[in-house]
Amino acid sequence: MLEQYGSFPLSRVMGEKSMTNGETKPEAKKPLSLTSNEIEELLSKTLVANLATINDDGSIHIVPMWFMRVGNNICIPTSRRTRKYKNLCSRPRASVMIDISLEGLNLKGVLIMGCVELLDGEEAQKTNHAIHSKYVTPEGLRNISVASYLSKGDDVTLKVRMDQIISWNLADSDAGKALRTQGLSHPLDS
C-alpha cells in the first residue's frame, strides 16, 4: 500500500517505476517557495484574498475578500450578518489564500492560517476605512452608493493572525518557465 502525500500517492511525488512501461520516473523537485521579501511584496499588493472558515456541518465556507496586512495580521472587513462572521464566532480560526494565478504554472501565493480576533466599533471603522481606501479611489469613497454600501455592510474587521504561512512559486520552476517563455500554455479566460 502506498503512503499518501496530500491526495497523491508518494510514488507519484517522489518518483517510482512506472506501472505502464517499467521505466523510472524522475524524482519530482519540491515546489519552489517565495522568499520573505517576495511574501512581503505579495501581501502589500492590491489583490483579492480567499477567506476560508468552517461551517457548523464541517463544510468549508470560502469567499473572496479585500484585505490589508497590519503587522502580523491580515485584516478583512465584513458584516456581522455574514456566514463567515457567524462561523468565526463559533470557531475563531481561518485560512486566507492570497495569490497571483496566471496561465500555465505562472502561480505564486501564500496560505495563511491562524486565530481570528473580531474587531468592532471605532477600531473596526478605522481599519475598514483603510482597507476600503486600498481598493477604492477617493472619488469612489465619496460616491453615495459606494459609501452607503461600505459603511452599512462592513461593520466589523476580521483580524487573522499569521500563525502559519505556506508559500509557493511555481512560476519560477523549470516547468513554469518553459510554459511561460515558450508559449506552451493556453490563456485563462477573463
**Which residues have a Cβ under 8 Å from the Cβ of 130 and sit 6 or more positions away?**
68
Q: Which residues span the domain enclosing 84?
A: 29-118+161-177
Number of domains in the chain: 1
Q: What is the CATH number of the domain that holds 101?
A: 2.30.110.10
Please classify residue 106 by burial: count the beta carbons closer than 10 Å to its beta carbon, then call 0-12 exposed, 13-18 middle and 19+ buried: middle
Beta bridge partners of 73: 70, 161
pLDDT recorded at residue 26: 53
Instruction: Classify residue 34: in a domain, yes or no.
Output: yes
Measured distance CA(99)–CA(95) in Å, rounded: 13
Contact 47, 182 (CB under 8 A): no
Instruction: Classify residue 48: in a domain, yes or no.
Output: yes
Contact 101, 111 (CB under 8 A): no
Global pTM? 0.82
The separation between CA 144 and the C-alpha centre of its own chain, rounded to angstroms, equals 31
Instruction: Classify residue 2: in a domain, yes or no.
Output: no
Instruction: Classify residue 136: in a domain, yes or no.
Output: no
Instruction: Classify residue 145: in a domain, yes or no.
Output: no
Give per-residue pLDDT as tens, 23-69: 545 556 666 899 999 999 999 999 999 999 999 999 999 999 999 99
Instruction: Classify residue 89: in a domain, yes or no.
Output: yes
C-alpha grid cell for residue 23? 521505466
C-alpha grid cell for residue 22? 517499467
pLDDT recorded at residue 152: 85
Measured distance CA(162)–CA(179) in Å, rounded: 32
